[in-house]
Chain A
């Protein structure tokens, strides 16, 4: 097994800048994830007082809303991550 220790020639600053932005993006995504995964379903009873597209909102979030939000979240994150990679010249 051959290990490649330093495969990429980029400066230490670029490396750190890239990781700092990647980390912030990830944290941002996980905060959004937390809301759709836990907060909205947790308050389903309260949200049910409102309605959305003919659904009670709490129900809607559990059967469609959060699911759709997860899909969108991943695509947005990837779009942003590609930009970050390009900014620091570490794209493939």
Chain B
């Protein structure tokens, strides 16, 4: 049926796949009209999509080092862009972003700007040079550029801490989605999730993860855009809502000042009322908080190994650059939809002129709504008439932020099939990110720690077996930690970015951009920045210290990064310049043509 290899037929393969998914969606919609229940539809959505990912994972199995670590360096820019977008957009982006915007207002938009602007740094400072270098992992670059096992080991440790923090949140998200859609306990859902994740990555390594991530991107972007556009059309907000919700935002501002943004008279555990205005920047300190958050997220984006390693898989330096452009475009599609979703959902709830409104309605009418009952039962929503006037006030409507995406289809009165689609999208987002992170950790341990430091004579077969054993071990450890439910999704995600930028940002940037940087400097930069950041996190989060200038636990990179920069520059200048060979290597890294620096 297909002439030529798989990579020559990507357009056909993924075109058919997309079509197949849409047909499946239509089939589910049809089944719903014949009376099949919501639960059955949800289960079929999850099972169908996960079965496809598992099949791709199985077909991509390999025993070649190049294929396992860098997908054989044959991923075209466009597809690497999609894979990166799936790798990047986590359960948090998919499920929690719109809810964060809904409840967080201007301060929260620092995440939106930060998580997109970071790619400018990836493209200008990192991706093309790391691709030219030809490394398998991020510590591989640090170890070779600076020389010495100390630098390599420091990079491995920071990578593991940052990525592990992140991956537990993702496994947690897969557990939540699986448990809700399949009706199983959360603790079982977590194991179900990790099983799906490992099937995609274990047999094929980076090759398997790449091709499943492309498939997962297609599902997640359809699952994000279709409900928003459908809702917009059903509720009369326009064909494509993205360009026309300015009026909606202003109407919300009017309604907010009319209702008043008072805190709840009595708090309800696990859910919150709206107290932050939709968009009302105060300037000054408010701007400072925005900028520090955005900076931490941007520098973190450019230091997170699971993102950087995606650009090792392209056929050329030029393709690596191009694929950063595609990545951000594909990410942008979701990120510029989330604020539209948050705004329109909020307007539907608040505006008494709309049929969907709940604020200002009588409490009996609201409690009779089906979606209110569904979400109240699981404790994700609460409507309590605390003032006793029989009317739902703005501060009497409680909600968990991360249900905004999940509940929107129901609020707008869309069919259940949309909810099934959204569950599949959330699962795809969380699984793809978890796969990338697990692989980043396992590859650093198997390639840098085991092969480069412990046993450089290890045979290919042994290396690949070690890599897989580590992958499974780390996955299981992640699932164990996730089942303890230690942190909320967003806390852990922001921490991962700050760990990564505190320890790795300057060693990576200066490795390319400053020839004089040497091994001692790099080690000092990694240790100093990571230690300072971690100390500060501990002090403000657990040690009871008052944050300096509003730098709270979400932005501890603001402390870590400058320490890292100063340590690296000072120690580099105090110690001898790197050898001529290393300096030539840096020169060679800076031009696209020629062979890669590391020949494996």
Contact = CB atoms under 8 A, between A and B. Distances in A.
Interface of A: 1-8, 10, 15, 18-19, 22, 26, 29-30, 33, 36-38, 41-46, 48, 51, 53-56, 58-60, 62-64, 66-68, 70-71, 73-75, 77-78, 81-82, 85, 88-92
A41 B113 contact: yes
Interface in B546-566: none
Contact of B291 (A36, A42, A56, A66): A42
B588 interface: yes
B287 A54 contact: no
Contact of B109 (A5, A63, A85): A63
Interface of B: 106, 109-110, 112-114, 116-117, 119-121, 123-125, 128, 144, 242-247, 249-250, 279, 281-283, 286-287, 290-291, 294-295, 298, 316-318, 321-322, 324-325, 328-329, 332, 335-336, 339-340, 581, 584-585, 587-588, 590-600
A54 B237 CA distance: 14
Contact of B593 (A2, A59, A66, A91): A91
A11 to B, nearest CB: 12
B120 A33 contact: yes
A91 B114 CA distance: 31
B117 A3 contact: no
A44 B106 contact: yes
A5 B117 contact: no
A5 B584 contact: yes
B112 to A, nearest CB: 7
B116 A67 contact: yes
A63 B335 CA distance: 8
A74 B128 CA distance: 12
Contacts of B291: 38, 41-42
A74 B119 contact: yes
Nearest to A33: B120
B294 A37 contact: yes
B112 A68 contact: no
A70 B117 contact: yes
B588 A6 contact: yes
Secondary structure call for the B interface? helix
B246 A82 contact: no
B591 A42 contact: no
Given A7-B588, A62-B106, A63-B112, A48 B281 contact: yes
B585 A46 contact: no
B249 A59 contact: yes
10 contacts: A5-B588, A8-B591, A45-B282, A48-B281, A58-B281, A64-B336, A66-B117, A71-B325, A71-B332, A92-B317
A66 B116 contact: yes
A33 B116 CA distance: 11
Given A5-B584, A55-B246, A67 B283 contact: no
B318 A70 contact: no
B290 A71 contact: no
List the 5 shortest-distance A-B pairs measured between CB atoms, nearest first. A7-B594, A8-B594, A55-B246, A54-B246, A63-B339
Nearest to A48: B281
B190 to A, nearest CB: 33
Contacts of B335: 67
B581 A5 contact: yes
A70 B328 contact: yes
Contacts of A58: 279, 281
Contacts of B316: 92
A54 B124 contact: no
A78 B119 CA distance: 13
A18 B591 contact: yes
Contacts of A64: 242, 336, 339
Contacts of B599: 1-4
